């Protein structure tokens, strides 16, 4: 960067503040709507988030219907003819049969590995595991983080000190390190156990954020009013303060889920995550990274699914942030702005 | 302020001690350290088990065994570190000394580059909000957020290392690639620089033509086999740097600063010949010494040319002096590239995919520097992608938040130049939240380093950690944690200092 570029003036839009025209657009859009409706409306106009929702839903349906689900000994079949743990005769040298021109899916669209397992089935099973881990980690970490943050932010004093020092202790240990140590012990017990354990260490960032929110919200007038009206602490925390902090919590728990999926795949790659005979996206990559030059498809597909899931979650999180944060205005189009400017000038 | 720092330091040391206790217990309970012996069929099985139990104090329960370990660590203060032994009866202190260097290098270099790049890109995107550049960077940072680091590392190894090495064996850029690269470069510059309509087209054409000319020159002069900057390149870069640094640091209206920078640039160009040809046997500290001397000379030039307002002029000149030193050093490193790449140990495939250094490589400081570069390039790239995305997003958000504050409007209303408003009023305040994020993120970079080292086959601290964990042996794991934890404390301390520097409220109370 050699020069600081001067700001470009947009018509009717000032860098530092908000014009009347912008305000009138904003007010007209939200007139007569409830908070939930405003949030929903703002979320649905974030195009990236909307597309991500559709893609993620497609991936979830694809992963769970194609090869069916299995818990322990119970199994349900899917519409895909192969499963992730049974090898079949190798066709076509194991190369993927998926082609776009002319479009064809073939018997093994993602190819086969060296013993003949269908990679599509393996990747689908891995996607299932990663999605499940993501949801469990998200739920547990959000719950713990919210409770600890809420209690220490609301009560302050020594409760706050104890809880926050405890949070600091966990934060000091890099997530991958504590995840590996715990994964080595609990990875054999299956993916759900691993997910619970990961959830137990990933809540720290959220706890700090929720605490900060509570510290500022508890000084507000509506909390004083509730206290004067005789509400007990539990009611104030859950009915008065928590709904006001829900934006921060939801946004950060989505980002937490995106982080969880990357951490799980990273741990599985190092060998401390999901263990054989089960599989996960990280484990597939770890097993096949030496075969990259001969069988690159073993490597491409699981990676693409990890990126697709994490990218979708991140975009949904961004959409939620825009929806919940009233300070983050969408920039109105020039046309809408000039019309609004015209209207406000005429009425003035 | 000193009390503030000391209090923070003491608190973080206690927290770190508690964290080591937790880590020790978790590691010790993560499995059975005697598992391989219990299932072995050796006739002296019982003896082996007893020997290992005695070696690692396994008869002491973990929550007490920790104190044996921490007592050994405590001896570091009297110069006799004892971090215990591994399962194979190797002293961990020795292993750590071998492993720590390369990992710390990787982590530190990756953090510094990610911070600088993230700040620059984040701030430029915030200043050019809603431009094509802004949207492009936003999408890229989301993509980088979502990349699994091991996947990127394997890809880099396959495509960048092997592909680039293949390219270097016959460095000719195909004619049809040149216009594509030129158009891409034109588009990037067009989206970054301000302007509309005609101005944009001119920017595009100028950037595309300049890029095409540079690429054709590189192609014709066989630049990839014999990279160099040369005295013309150095002169152009330094004059450009003098103007650029002055614009940001004091503004071009400050003629004294501009002239001082140009004088320093001139000194740099004059020093090119002696620096390139008389530094073959320079030791590492000599090189650092030259760097410090350059900055000091530049400071003096700025001080004497500064007139009434010495400090900003001296600061500007010193920054230009540092740039001059960096450019000259870069050219000097490039001089040995050809010898390095074609030496018997490298055999024309310079970008390394395995290990953290060429074993047994002999040569000058410059050869070792190039060796370090070829080994660090890919792991660092893999590591910075993710942190870069984080820092970009946070610095952009933080600067946008600050730019909406009333005091920025006041500063503009006073008639200050845009440069003063952005650099002095907005940038300083935007840095405060970023300092927190950077200190917080160091754990993520260390975790990423563990994975990256594994992909690139380094025998660094990641391997130490993994070997220890695989054998349920807390000593190497704790040695790893001791170093990374201290690094995290160090970064937090730096963040506190930066805070105090930026925020007068902390400095005073």
pLDDT tens per residue, range B339-350: 888 777 777 778
Could you read off the pLDDT of A275-296 as tens digits, one per residue? 877 788 888 888 877 777 777 7
Could you read off the pLDDT of A5-43 as tens digits, one per residue? 443 334 444 444 455 666 676 677 777 778 788 888 888
Q: Are residues B60 and B135 in the same domain?
A: no
Question: Considering only CA atoms, which of B395, B187, B239 is closest in space to residue A2?
Answer: B239
Return the H-helix or E-strand segment holding B490: helix B474-502
Domain stop point among B386, B419, B453: B386
Q: Which residues of A265-274 are buried (b: 16+ CB within 10 A; e: fewer)?
A: bbbbbbbbbb
Could you read off the pLDDT of A103-137 as tens digits, one per residue? 767 777 777 777 778 888 888 888 988 899 999 99
Is B72 inside any structural domain? yes
Is B162 inside any structural domain? yes
Q: Are residues B139 and B213 in the same domain?
A: yes
Q: How far apart are CA A236 and CA A222, in angstroms?
A: 10
Interface test with A, best of B122, B144, B151 (most A CBs within 10 A): B151
The confidence score (pLDDT) of residue A152 equals 93
Is B414 inside any structural domain? no
Could you read off the pLDDT of B103-136 as tens digits, one per residue? 888 888 998 999 999 999 999 998 888 888 888 8
Rounded to the nearest 5°, which phi and psi values hold at A223?
Answer: -75, -40
Give the rounded percent of residues in chain B with a pLDDT score beyond 90: 20
Is B448 inside any structural domain? no
The confidence score (pLDDT) of residue B114 equals 92
Q: How far apart are CA B457 and CA B446, in angstroms?
A: 16
DSSP structure string for A254-300 = HHHHHHHHHHHHHHHHHTSSS-TTS--HHHHHHHHGGGTTT-THHHH
pLDDT at B181 over 60: yes
Q: Are residues B91 and B145 in the same domain?
A: no
Q: Are residues B55 and B142 in the same domain?
A: no
Question: Considering only CA atoms, which of B12, B117, B163, B59 is closest in space to residue B493?
Answer: B12
What domain range includes position B367? 129-386
Q: How high is the mean pLDDT of chain B?
A: 86
Q: Are residues B304 and B373 in the same domain?
A: yes
Q: How confident is the model at residue B100 (pLDDT cuts 50, 70, 90)?
A: confident
Chain A hits for B117, CB-CB cut-off 8 Å, are: none
Is B279 inside any structural domain? yes
Domain stop point among B332, B359, B386: B386
Residues 385-414 of B with CB under 8 A from A: 403-404, 408-409, 412
Contact A65, A78 (CB under 8 A): yes
Residue that is written with structure tokens 């993560």 in the block? B30
**From A172, A184, A310, residue closest to B485, measured CB to CB:** A172
Q: Are residues B142 and B272 in the same domain?
A: yes
Interface test with B, best of A4, A7, A314 (most B CBs within 10 A): A4
pLDDT at B165 over 50: yes
Q: Are residues B297 and B234 in the same domain?
A: yes
Q: Are residues B64 and B139 in the same domain?
A: no
> Which pairs with CB-CB distance under 8 Å and at least 24 residues apart come from A37-40?
A38/A323, A39/A247, A39/A323, A39/A324, A40/A323
- Quote the pTM value: 0.84
Domain stop point among B386, B402, B421: B386
Mean pLDDT across the stretch B183-198? 83
Query: What is the ipTM for the molecules in this complex?
Result: 0.82
Q: How far apart are CA A259 and CA B127, in angstroms?
A: 29
Is B324 inside any structural domain? yes
Residue that is written with structure tokens 């994020």 in the block? B437
Give the alpha-carbon dihedral of B321, B322, B325, B330, to 10 degrees.
Answer: -140
Count of beta carbons in the 10 Å neighbourhood of residue B77:
8
Weakest-pLDDT range from A72-81, A306-315, B19-28, B140-149: A72-81
Is B167 inside any structural domain? yes
Q: Are residues B265 and B326 in the same domain?
A: yes
Residue that is written with structure tokens 């219907």 in the block? A65
Q: How far apart are CA B32 and CA B452, in angstroms?
A: 28
Q: What are the tokens at B49?
A: 């088990």
The confidence score (pLDDT) of residue A136 equals 94
- Assess A16–B contact: CB distance below 8 Å, yes or no: yes
Residue that is written with structure tokens 């519409």 in the block? A79
The confidence score (pLDDT) of residue B235 equals 92
Give the rounded percent of residues in chain B with a pLDDT score beyond 70: 100
pLDDT at A1 over 50: no
Mean pLDDT across the stretch B160-164? 83
Q: How confident is the model at residue A347 (pLDDT cuts 50, 70, 90)?
A: low
Could you read off the pLDDT of B257-289 as tens digits, one per residue? 999 999 999 999 998 888 888 887 788 888 999
- Assess A9–B contact: CB distance below 8 Å, yes or no: no
Q: Are residues B334 and B380 in the same domain?
A: yes
Mean pLDDT across the stretch A64-84? 75
Alpha-carbon distance A16 to nearest alpha carbon in chain B (angstroms): 5
Q: How confident is the model at residue B45 (pLDDT cuts 50, 70, 90)?
A: confident
Q: Are residues B133 and B252 in the same domain?
A: yes
Q: In this complex, do A16 and B450 lie within 8 Å of one another by their Cβ atoms?
A: no
The confidence score (pLDDT) of residue A7 equals 39
Q: Are residues B476 and B341 in the same domain?
A: no
Alpha-carbon distance A342 to nearest alpha carbon in chain B (angstroms): 24
Is B434 inside any structural domain? no
Domains: count for chain B = 2
Weakest-pLDDT range from A99-113, B84-98, B466-480: A99-113
């Amino acid at each position: 960067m050699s020069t600081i570029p001067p700001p470009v003036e947009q018509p009717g839009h000032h860098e530092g503040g908000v014009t009347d025209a912008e305000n009138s657009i904003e007010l007209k859009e939200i007139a007569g709507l409830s908070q939930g409706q405003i949030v929903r409306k703002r979320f649905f106009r974030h195009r990236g988030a909307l597309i991500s929702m559709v893609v993620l839903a497609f991936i979830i349906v694809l992963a769970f219907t194609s090869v069916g689900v299995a818990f322990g000994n119970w199994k349900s079949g899917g519409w895909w003819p192969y499963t992730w743990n049974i090898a079949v005769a190798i066709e076509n040298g194991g190369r993927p049969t998926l082609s776009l021109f002319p479009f064809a899916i073939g018997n093994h669209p993602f190819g086969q590995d060296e013993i003949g397992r269908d990679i599509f089935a393996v990747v689908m099973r891995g996607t299932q595991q990663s999605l499940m881990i993501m949801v469990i980690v998200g739920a547990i970490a959000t719950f713990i983080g919210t409770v600890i943050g809420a209690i220490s932010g609301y009560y302050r004093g020594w409760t706050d000190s104890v809880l926050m020092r405890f949070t600091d202790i966990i934060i000091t240990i890099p997530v991958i390190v504590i995840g590996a140590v715990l994964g080595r012990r609990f990875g054999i017990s299956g993916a759900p156990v691993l997910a619970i354990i990961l959830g137990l260490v990933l809540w720290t960032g959220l706890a700090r954020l929720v605490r900060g929110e509570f510290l500022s919200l508890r000084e507000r007038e509506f909390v004083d009013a509730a206290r004067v009206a005789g509400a007990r602490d539990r009611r104030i925390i859950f009915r008065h303060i928590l709904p006001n902090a829900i934006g921060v919590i939801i946004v950060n728990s989505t980002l937490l889920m995106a982080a969880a999926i990357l951490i799980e795949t990273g741990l599985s790659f190092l060998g401390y995550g999901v263990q054989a005979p089960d599989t996960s996206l990280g484990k597939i990559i770890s097993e096949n990274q030496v075969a990259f030059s001969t069988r690159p498809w073993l490597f491409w597909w699981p990676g693409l699914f990890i990126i697709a899931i994490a990218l979708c979650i991140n975009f949904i999180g961004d959409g939620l942030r825009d929806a919940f944060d009233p300070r983050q205005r969408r920039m109105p189009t020039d046309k809408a702005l000039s019309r609004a400017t015209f209207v406000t000038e005429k009425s003035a | 302020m000193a009390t503030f720092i000391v209090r923070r330091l003491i608190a973080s040391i206690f927290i770190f001690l508690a964290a080591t206790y937790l880590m020790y217990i978790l590691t010790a309970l993560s499995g059975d350290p005697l598992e391989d012996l219990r299932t072995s069929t050796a006739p002296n099985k019982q003896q082996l088990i007893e020997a290992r139990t005695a070696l690692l104090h396994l008869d002491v329960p973990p929550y007490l065994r920790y104190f044996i370990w921490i007592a050994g660590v405590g001896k570091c203060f009297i110069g006799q570190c004892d971090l215990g032994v591994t399962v194979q009866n190797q002293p961990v202190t020795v292993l750590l000394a071998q492993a720590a260097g390369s990992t710390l290098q990787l982590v530190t270099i990756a953090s510094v580059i990610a911070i600088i790049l993230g700040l620059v890109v984040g701030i430029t995107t915030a200043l050019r909000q809603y431009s094509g550049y802004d949207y492009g960077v936003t999408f890229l940072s989301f993509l980088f957020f979502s990349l699994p680091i091991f996947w990127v590392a394997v890809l880099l190894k396959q495509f960048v290392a092997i592909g680039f090495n293949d390219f270097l064996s016959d460095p000719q850029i195909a004619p049809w690639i040149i216009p594509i690269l030129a158009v891409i470069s034109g588009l990037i510059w067009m989206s970054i620089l301000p302007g509309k309509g005609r101005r944009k087209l001119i920017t595009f054409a100028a950037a595309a033509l300049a890029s095409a000319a540079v690429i054709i020159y590189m192609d014709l002069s066989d630049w990839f086999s014999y990279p160099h900057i040369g005295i013309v390149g150095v002169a152009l870069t330094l004059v450009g740097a003098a103007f650029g640094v002055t614009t940001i640091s004091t503004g071009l209206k400050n003629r004294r600063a501009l002239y001082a920078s140009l004088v320093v640039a001139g000194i740099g160009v004059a020093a090119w010949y002696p620096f390139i040809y008389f530094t073959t046997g320079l030791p590492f500290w000599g090189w650092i010494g030259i760097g410090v001397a350059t900055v000091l000379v530049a400071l003096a030039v700025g001080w004497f040319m500064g007139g009434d307002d010495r400090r900003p002029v001296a600061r500007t000149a010193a920054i230009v002096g540092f740039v001059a030193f960096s450019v000259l050093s870069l050219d000097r490193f490039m001089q040995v590239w050809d010898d390095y790449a074609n030496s018997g140990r490298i055999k024309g495939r310079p970008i390394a995919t395995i290990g953290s250094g060429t074993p047994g490589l002999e040569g000058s400081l410059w050869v070792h520097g190039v060796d370090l570069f070829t080994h660090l390039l890919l792991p660092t790239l893999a590591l910075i992608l993710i942190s870069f995305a984080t820092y970009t997003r946070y610095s952009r958000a933080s600067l946008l938040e600050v730019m909406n504050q009333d005091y920025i409007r006041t500063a503009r209303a006073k008639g200050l130049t845009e440069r003063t408003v952005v650099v002095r009023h907005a940038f300083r305040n935007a840095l405060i939240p970023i300092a927190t994020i950077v200190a917080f993120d160091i754990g993520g970079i260390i975790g990423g380093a563990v994975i990256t080292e594994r992909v690139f086959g380094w025998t660094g601290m990641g391997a130490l950690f993994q070997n220890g964990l695989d054998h349920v042996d807390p000593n190497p794991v704790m040695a790893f944690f001791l170093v990374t934890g201290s690094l995290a404390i160090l970064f937090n301390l730096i963040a506190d200092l930066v805070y105090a520097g930026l925020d007068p409220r902390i400095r005073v109370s």
